[in-house]
Amino acid sequence: MNPDQFKGAAVVGLCGLILFGMGILWLRTDTREENGVEILSETTVAVVRVEVAGAVVRPGVYELDISSRINEALIEAGGMTEEADAEWVEKNVNRAAKLVDGQKIYIPRRSEANVQVLGGGLQNFRININSASITELDTLPGIGPATANKVVGGRPYSRVEELVEKKIVSQKVFEAISDKIAVW
């Protein structure tokens, strides 16, 4: 090999090493952040925080995966106690419903008075505005399908007065339904 060929091979080899080193540095640089927007890792999991209260083993606030269902929140809370009104839960709680951040899930006890006995033995059932269907809400005086949809869209509620505060119903309508609704 003559000296000029050796110099040429050395220059090509040196250029190759430089390019290889630059490639390694480029790969080690975080290329996932562009234009000031950070791309979150695929392992980041979105969560919801919900309160489970009432007749459950461990009432409290739980952090669950965003795709979780009410049933999973009940499991996290240790399940229902023997005091739970299981018949009411079967009729009124959709365990397959997705959780909403800030939601409260209340499991009433059999001894709780969500039903009032009036003169003549008639019963006055209170409607839970956090779980009632549009059809159930539509049975309330002054509430039609459009307002029932607004009630559902404004969930969750921690107090019935929020219907007026959030301008979902007027004060007059609220006064007509306040003894017929509840939040749990």
Query: Does residue 9 fall inside a structural domain?
Result: no
Q: Are residues 166 and 140 in the same domain?
A: yes
Q: Are residues 121 and 92 in the same domain?
A: no
Domain boundary among 78, 107, 136: 107
Quote the tokens at residue 152. 């559902």
Residue 136's pLDDT is what? 86
Q: Are residues 151 and 121 in the same domain?
A: yes
Domain boundary among 69, 90, 107: 107
H helix count then E strand count, the chain: 7, 9
Q: Are residues 81 and 125 in the same domain?
A: no
Q: Are residues 119 and 98 in the same domain?
A: no
Q: Are residues 102 and 122 in the same domain?
A: no
CATH code at 161?
Answer: 1.10.150.320
* Pairing mode of beta strands 123-125, 127-128: unpaired
Find the domain containing 157 and state its range: 115-182
Span between the terminal Cα atoms of the chain, in Å: 90
Averages of pLDDT over runs of 10 residues in the chain (184 residues) are: 66 72 66 53 76 93 94 95 88 85 86 48 66 88 93 90 94 93 85
Q: Are residues 146 and 91 in the same domain?
A: no
Query: Does residue 149 fall inside a structural domain?
Result: yes
Residue 115's pLDDT is what? 45
Q: For the chain, how many structural domains are there in total?
A: 2
Residue 168's pLDDT is what? 95
Residue 167's pLDDT is what? 95
Q: Are residues 99 and 61 in the same domain?
A: yes
